[in-house]
Chains A and B, each alone.
Chain A
């Protein structure tokens, strides 16, 4: 079965962005880049929500190249408003995200990466579909903002795979999800 991974950079108090979406507090480091460079070849599919897709399109329009090598990676975007089908390099999906990802997992292929904010991740966690979690916990408290983990209706257990401090004070923590 293909592995589904969710993760990202968060503040110590679990925010991925300020309320106005600002990520001025993000720290760059070679060690995190190295982990991502090792991660990209293990996946061939990215799934994201429409809001994350919008952010990525804005960044691309602004001339910011997304991190990582996307060649050969299939991208699916879940949206109830965009027309279904190909859209640039991505494919818009209107089907229920959990049903769709459950089917993807049953197909042959490499890993699947859940990208972006927590709305999609919440549906997939609640459906028991996310297998691994990777956090880059930043040494900052933001007090408010957009959470990485949205409120969920079920408790979920984790098994720590690894925790590693970076030179810049971030902590990389990876977990296996236990349902």
Chain B
């Protein structure tokens, strides 16, 4: 079965982006192997985006991943036409997740933001959390998940510290 994976970086104070969506603090020299990113990219064929995260990504040039993989963008107000490789989703997330998992394919990457991560978590539709803790405080920003009272217990599957101080944590929900 395909896995749905939150694969993301957070600051050590728990933010995935600055308040304005900025991720300039992720622009840092990477150690050899880039935290295994290319292996991860090769293991997925689908990316799930919140509308804001998608728009902000596109405004920054989009990146090669969004051009070569299947992109689903969650929005309440889908534009009339979608660019090639993009599908707008208005379906409730539990239904969408069930349908997507039933299709053959590689793993599925939830890019963010905090809104769709929270919705997938609350739908019990996340199989893995792979969190890269960046050794910096950005002070304020957008949290990993949109706030709500919840208790998602996790199993630590692995942890790895890189020479630049990034710690990669892999969890699976219990």
Q: Is the CB of A13 within 8 A of B143?
A: yes
Please report which residues of chain B, range 13-31, place their CB below 8 angstroms from some CB of chain A when the two chains form the complex.
13-14, 25
Which residues of chain A are near B166, meaning CB under 8 Å?
160
Known: A139-B154, A155-B137. A163 touches B167 (CB 8 A): yes
Please report the C-alpha to C-alpha distance between residue A144 and residue B165 in the assembled complex, in whole angstroms: 27
Please report which residues of chain B, range 114-166, place their CB below 8 angstroms from some CB of chain A when the two chains form the complex.
118, 121, 129, 131, 133, 135-140, 143-145, 147-156, 159, 161, 165-166
Please report the C-alpha to C-alpha distance between residue A148 and residue B161 in the assembled complex, in whole angstroms: 22
Please report the C-alpha to C-alpha distance between residue A151 and residue B143 in the assembled complex, in whole angstroms: 11
Q: Which of A25, A125, A149 contacts B151 (CB 8 A)?
A: A25
Which residues of chain B are near A14, meaning CB under 8 Å?
13-14, 143
- Nearest Cβ distance between residue B64 and chain A, in whole angstroms? 29
Known: A144-B147, A175-B12. A152 touches B171 (CB 8 A): no
Q: Is the CB of B137 within 8 A of A165?
A: no
Please report the C-alpha to C-alpha distance between residue A149 and residue B136 in the assembled complex, in whole angstroms: 12
Please report the C-alpha to C-alpha distance between residue A157 and residue B154 in the assembled complex, in whole angstroms: 28
Known: A149-B13, A175-B12. A169 touches B154 (CB 8 A): yes
Which residues of chain B are near A154, meaning CB under 8 Å?
139
Given contacts A12-B154, A19-B149, A137-B169, 13 further A-B contacts (CB under 8 A): A14-B143, A125-B137, A133-B12, A141-B144, A142-B150, A152-B13, A154-B139, A155-B25, A156-B136, A157-B136, A158-B136, A159-B135, A170-B156
Listed in ascending order, the chain A residues whose CB lies under 8 Å from chain B are 12-14, 18-19, 25, 125, 133, 135, 137, 139-144, 147-149, 151-160, 162-163, 165, 169-171, 173, 175
Q: Which of B131, B147, B148, B161 contacts A12 (CB 8 A)?
A: B131
Q: Is the CB of B138 within 8 A of A155?
A: yes
- Nearest Cβ distance between residue B164 and chain A, in whole angstroms? 8
- Name the residue of chain B whose CB is nearest to the CB of A152: B139
